[in-house]
Structure 1
Amino acid sequence: MGKINWKSISATLRDSQMEFFYLIFMYGLSVQSTVVTQLIEDKICLNKFGFPLNDCLADKSENKTLVLKETSIISSYRSILGKLPAICTTLFVGSWINNYPSHLKFIITMPCISSILQILIYIGNAIYFELDPKTVLIVDLFPWIFGTIRNTFMALQTYVVLTNPPEKRIIKFASIDVASLTGSIAGQYMGGWILDQKPWFPNQVHNYLGVFIISLTFKVISVLFFIFKVPTVYKVNEKRVARNPDYVKYNLPFKTQQSVESKLSFHNKGAIKEFIRKVFSLEALKKLFRTLTKPRDAGKKQALLLLVVAEIVLHIEFSFRGSVSFQFSQKAYGWSNYQYSTYHAAVRVIPAVMQLIGPRILIQRLGVSDINLGLMAIASHTAEQIITGAWLSSAGFIAATLSGAVAFLFGSAVRSILCNVVERDEIAGVFSLLSVFSSILTLGTDWVLIRLFNATLSFYPGLGFHMFAGAAIIPFSVFMWIKFKLPHLVTKNMAKRKPDNVETGGKDKQTGGVDNNGFAMTEQVTEPEQKEGEVKY
């Protein structure tokens, strides 16, 4: 029996600090998720309409349908208030990260602190139950100051890009997604279980305070861990270069890197003026939007714009699903909060396991390209949507969830391809624009789709899911076009097999693809003789 390689395990754990932070934070965030909706429903039922609580909990009662519709309206208000600050703050976050990679930890932390403050407002709403249910909307004002969780996720994605070589990025993207899903599953189950317990404090309809206290505890732990244990981008890259000098070939950011122009500007204008000029000026915004409009060779501009469209379609669907998922489950399946949390936690274990092992098997062992991973994800997600909208029973939920077991790969595939389309100092800006455009569009789509959901709730609750199953043709077409028209943008994961595209001999060649750092490479280059075993993409 082989010995346990503790050094390898220790190195893996050190390399997974970001995933651990996100796992704990997402647990704390998900514990509260459906409980907030339940608190709103109970306030509407008891305070606004004066219905008996048991009547509001009955599966098919007209009173419950009325409460669900009213809750959906408040959810749409929350969606709007939550997205407006995302639009404003995210516009500048991309430029901020591009120019100051060392600030990534601060950018990631601030929305998490905002989330902690939001929990305190929820606690106040639970204690003073007689307050109007719309008072929960106050929590959506904090992101105007601190930024949104969307900013945190975008910054995490950029952290992955700036600290990993190209062949590891899609694995790390998937690892972040695994941490997110695992924390969400565990948090959602525990939130429902704790809420279903006898209230820990007097004068509570349900155990809201118990849930919010647990959520607050885990959020604080995750933020403290991140602040004190997760290294900056510069420290990560410097440590890796110290262990392996060849790491410099990936051209990732180091503290010593600073352009002559930047040094002169810093000397003449000072730190604050330099920061404002690079991040909050009109010129910084123009530079951000030029990322999408500037000319690019080899079809990269068209690919970039189409990938943005494909990602936005999925963002619209995720936003709609997040707004109505709990209400849909109550109406279609007749679930209580506890049943909703339990079923989601139990059934989503299989997709979580797929997230954990799928990328390593498909990418590292089988060498599946990122474009094929994306196509698999779209097909999986479409099947999930069709089944969800048509099979309105607990068995249908199980079948739909299992059908969508590899849908998570879509985001990782898009981000991997984007790294092949844009340059390193543009990637944070692209993630920023994706977030901004998604937030702007979902402001309107959430409003319309939630009202459509309410209008069809009594006779066709799955209509929205079927609409998005049809809309999947958009990202599917984009990926097929890139696969066959722009194959040079596809990252070929060639683990455990010999390179099949090695060129020998010195000759001039327009790459039109990506450099060995995994970013866009457009200039004319002269290739030296290829070394044995070296792979060029």
Structure 2
Amino acid sequence: MPKLSKNDLLEIISLLRLDVFFLLAMLGSSMPSITINQLAQDKWCLNSFSGNRSVCLDLANSGTEYESLRNEVLKKATTLKMYTTILTTIPGIPTSLFLGYWIDTYPGHIRYLLTFGPIAIVIQDLMIIYQCVHFETGAMSLLYTYVVPAITSSLVATGAFTYATRKTPAKYRAIRFTVLEIFVIAAMPLSSSIGGLLLGMKPWLSSQLRNYVGVIVVAASFSLFAIIWSAIMITDTSHDIPNKKMRQQTMKIVKINPKFNQPRCD
């Protein structure tokens, strides 16, 4: 690793605006996963199988007499998880084609790709809150909340790494991507810890069995912060500055040396 001066460190720190955005976006998108799974299990236990409320709230530790109920609920939850995985994976192919076209055609507008992801998550969060308030709706209807995020599932990651590559000088890229990976790795356990802690709290809405809404509201707040951060702190034009300076220097050379304007005859 090359030795870094004080100015180098300051320059690297100034590049970390994207990492903060990526952390916020990851927290917003990852935090509701445990809550959605628990919400689906509770819906099936109480609505579909007419389970006892006290048993459904602690189904994992229920007695052997409830083993059949527990197995049915877990089987349904696994099926829903499989469907959500399929739903969020299949759109990745056409989305990748779109991303390639967008990045090639509009290289100075990667910020919009970054912003679309958190916006989709906020829409999903609003749909989940509706599902929490109207608890009587079927658990499989939670699958619909993944439709919008599925379309934009790869925008944040692809846009972030493309943005980091274009914005980072070659000598800093090794360090730059290491720091970005650290933020990605840290986001997963952090989101699970915060989500689990909030879900175990007293419900913010008295009508709720668990604090589903509290988790979703906090997750949506992270996504909103990511959108605001992207709009204010992330720019799309800085990577054009070196090219602009190079063109200006070239023009000066041409003016000073008229021979550069002469056509070649060889």
Asked if TM exceeds 0.5, the reply is: yes
Q: Is structure 2 residue 100 aligned with structure 1 residue 97?
A: no
Q: Is structure 2 residue 159 aligned with structure 1 residue 155?
A: yes
- Mapped to 2, the partners of 1:31 and 1:55 lie a distance apart of 21
Residue correspondence of structure 1 range 195-234 to structure 2 within 5 A: 195-232=199-236, 234=237
- RMSD value over aligned CA atoms? 2.5
Contact 1:112 1:149 in 2 (8 A): no
Partner of 2:39: 39
Equivalent in 112, 115, 126 of residue 109 of structure 1: 115
- The structure whose RCO (Cα within 8 Å, separation 6+) is larger is 2
AA partner of residue 199 (structure 1):
P
Quick one: structure 1 residues 56 and 235, their matched pair in 2 at CA, closer, same or farther if it must change by over 3 Å? same
Partner of 1:238: 241
- Mapped to 2, the partners of 1:119 and 1:55 lie a distance apart of 25
Deviations 1:236-285 (A, max 9, x none): 4526997xx8xx9xxxxxxxxxxxxxxxxxxxxxxxxxxxxxxxxxxxxx
Q: Is structure 2 residue 74 aligned with structure 1 residue 78?
A: no
Partner of 1:390: none
AA partner of residue 211 (structure 1):
V
Where structure 1 has 5 or more consecutive residues not aligned to the other structure, the ranges are: 249-537
Partner of 1:334: none
Q: Is structure 2 residue 138 aligned with structure 1 residue 135?
A: no
Residue correspondence of structure 1 range 290-305 to structure 2 within 5 A: none
Note the C-alpha offset of 1:115: 0.9
Note the C-alpha offset of 1:191: 0.5
- Mapped to 1, the partners of 2:221 and 2:160 lie a distance apart of 22
SS at match of 1:51: coil
- Mapped to 2, the partners of 1:130 and 1:194 lie a distance apart of 23
Residue correspondence of structure 1 range 132-531 to structure 2 within 5 A: 132-143=138-149, 147-232=151-236, 234-236=237-239, 238=241
Deviations 1:196-239 (A, max 9, x none): 0111111111100110111111110111101111121x314526
After TM superposition, the runs of 4+ consecutive aligned structure 1 residues lying more than 4 A away are 5-10, 239-242
AA partner of residue 156 (structure 1):
A
AA partner of residue 130 (structure 1):
E
- Mapped to 1, the partners of 2:97 and 2:8 lie a distance apart of 40
Note the C-alpha offset of 1:194: 0.6
AA partner of residue 103 (structure 1):
H
- Mapped to 2, the partners of 1:231 and 1:55 lie a distance apart of 48
Note the C-alpha offset of 1:66: 2.2
AA partner of residue 45 (structure 2):
C
Contact 1:163 1:237 in 2 (8 A): no
AA partner of residue 189 (structure 1):
S
Contact 1:199 1:210 in 2 (8 A): yes
Deviations 1:437-495 (A, max 9, x none): xxxxxxxxxxxxxxxxxxxxxxxxxxxxxxxxxxxxxxxxxxxxxxxxxxxxxxxxxxx
- Mapped to 1, the partners of 2:17 and 2:156 lie a distance apart of 15
Contact 2:167 2:238 in 1 (8 A): no
Deviations 1:63-103 (A, max 9, x none): 32321111111111111222233222222211220232112
AA partner of residue 225 (structure 2):
I
Quick one: structure 1 residues 48 and 170, their matched pair in 2 at CA, closer, same or farther if it must change by over 3 Å? farther
Contact 2:26 2:184 in 1 (8 A): yes
Partner of 1:498: none
AA partner of residue 78 (structure 2):
S
Note the C-alpha offset of 1:27: 1.7
Quick one: structure 1 residues 94 and 9, their matched pair in 2 at CA, closer, same or farther if it must change by over 3 Å? same
AA partner of residue 175 (structure 1):
V
Give the % identical residues: 25
SS at match of 1:77: helix
Quick one: structure 1 residues 240 and 209, their matched pair in 2 at CA, closer, same or farther if it must change by over 3 Å? farther
Partner of 2:25: 25
Contact 1:17 1:230 in 2 (8 A): yes
Contact 2:34 2:192 in 1 (8 A): yes
Note the C-alpha offset of 1:155: 1.6
Note the C-alpha offset of 1:114: 0.8
AA partner of residue 86 (structure 1):
G
Contact 2:15 2:168 in 1 (8 A): no
Note the C-alpha offset of 1:31: 2.0
Partner of 1:66: 72
The answer to which structure has the higher helix fraction is 2
Note the C-alpha offset of 1:184: 2.1
Query: So what's the TM-score if we normalise by structure 2?
Result: 0.80
Note the C-alpha offset of 1:40: 0.8
SS at match of 2:108: helix
AA partner of residue 14 (structure 1):
S
- Mapped to 1, the partners of 2:27 and 2:123 lie a distance apart of 17
- Mapped to 2, the partners of 1:6 and 1:89 lie a distance apart of 41
Partner of 1:118: 124
- Mapped to 2, the partners of 1:6 and 1:230 lie a distance apart of 23
Quick one: structure 1 residues 167 and 64, their matched pair in 2 at CA, closer, same or farther if it must change by over 3 Å? farther
